[in-house]
Amino acid sequence: MRAKEVKAPPQCVRRVCGTHENACANARRRRAGPTSEQQAVRPRLSWRGLSRPVKMLRVVSWNINGIRRPLQGVANQEPSNCAAVAVGRILDELDADIVCLQETKVTRDALTEPLAIVEGYNSYFSFSRNRSGYSGVATFCKDSATPVAAEEGLRGLFAPQNGDVGCYGNTDEFTQEELRALDSEGRALLTQHKICTWEGKERTLTLINVYCPHADPGRPERLVFKMRFYRLLQIRAEALLAAGSHVIILGDLNTAHRPIDHWDSANLVRLPLGAWPHS
């Protein structure tokens, strides 16, 4: 669902979750431009949109814990009870050019068209091929931020013939069986976009939307799987960087940098320093 126009001064647009007065205030702030403090911390990447030559890129990441779960309450508020309206409303309230979702918990057979196809957006999904209702990531891009290439997985084993991102790096340390297992749980999506730096140079930006594996203390093989996933992610990111692309890795990394970053620090699985992947 796109923003709805209201009878108000020019450039005053009301979002579903906003009010007329808030919209007017936001419009005035946008026309006034950023403050000196905002200018100092503003990122130095922008992209070429359809409405303006240069525009800031807003990206949102969210572990949604089941894409159908939060939609139930929103959909019930809509007269038509339509999933497409519900998804559109959530995307509209997030107000981002690109929305990266993790833990969608939906497989291809359970993904309905209204859930996947939202007006004004291009959507990309990666599903678990082993278990139903498990893992999964999705990326929604506004039409004005449509990627030039998109790809599922870190090794490209499920990439289409055309439009894949490429740049896989040297993965000789992995067996083909291991690579297929790492890409079969629906944990990574790559979208590649053309951006324009503030110096006016066109560059490539690759977004890697990931839902990294969880280390189960009762299943030591999952810790090995987790660390191998990290290693493959590192190889892919470094290969993209070496090819000249900007790279942003975002999503649910399932890793706490320090105990204070975790809600249950007493039960954290602590890894020896040598276990972390490195160059």
The residues annotated with a catalytic role in the active site are: 211, 252
Scanning the structure block, which residue is given the tokens 């990394």?
253
**Cα 266 from Cα 269, distance rounded (Å):** 9
How far, in Å, CA of 176 to CA of 131, rounded? 20
Outline where the chain has alpha helix (H).
Answer: 20-32, 36-41, 69-76, 83-94, 113-116, 176-183, 220-242
Residue indicated by tokens 């007006």: 119
Residue with tokens 């130095």: 44
Read off the tokens for 71: 């939609």
Q: Are strands 137-142 and 121-126 parallel, antiparallel or unpaired?
A: antiparallel
